[in-house]
């Protein structure tokens, strides 16, 4: 599947040299263009392009038959200043609501995680790499 960069407002005017500098999240569910400060959550992009019904149909076959009592095991990771966080939170809340699931998930700023917390490793690696320490 191909979605043209022109369909994504923050990427519409970016030259190919910038677009090619994309980073894939460790969970392979998000793309980041660090030089542009753009992070895109792939399920949210699919929902934006194809609509909620498409996303729910795709998730439906893998969805649980019973409603979980809590989503406390689900963690939303973001970082301060990410311009896409409000949209991603809205999409997550809408998806959980559409499934009839609670939205009591954890919301974590990766910049505030301890050094030993594995959830922040990708972010720290990027900072070290950009500062030429590694």
Calculate what percentage of the chain has a pLDDT beyond 90. Answer: 0
Give me the pLDDT at residue 124, please.
46
Secondary structure of the chain as H, E, C letters? CCCCHHHCHHHCCCCHHHHCCCEECCCCCEEEECCCCEEEEHHHHHHHHHCHHHHHHHHHCCCCCCCCCCCCCCEEEECCCCCCHHHHHHHHHHHHHHHCCCCCCEEEEHHHCCCCCHHHHHHHHHHHHHCCCC
More confident residue, 129 or 105: 105
Domain ranges of the chain: 5-130
Q: For the whole model, what pTM was predicted?
A: 0.44
pLDDT at 128 over 60: no
């Amino acid at each position: 599947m191909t979605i043209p960069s022109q369909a994504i407002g923050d990427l519409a005017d970016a030259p190919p040299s910038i677009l090619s500098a994309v980073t894939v999240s460790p969970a392979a569910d998000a793309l980041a263009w660090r030089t542009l400060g753009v992070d895109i959550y792939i399920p949210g992009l699919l929902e934006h392009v194809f609509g909620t019904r498409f996303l729910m149909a795709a998730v439906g076959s893998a969805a649980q038959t019973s409603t979980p009592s809590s989503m406390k095991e689900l963690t939303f990771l973001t970082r301060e200043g990410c311009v896409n966080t409000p949209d991603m939170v809205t999409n997550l809340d809408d998806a959980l609501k559409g499934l009839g699931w609670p939205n009591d998930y954890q919301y974590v700023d990766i910049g505030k995680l301890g050094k030993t917390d594995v959830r922040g490793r990708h972010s720290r690696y990027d900072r070290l790499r950009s500062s030429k320490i590694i």
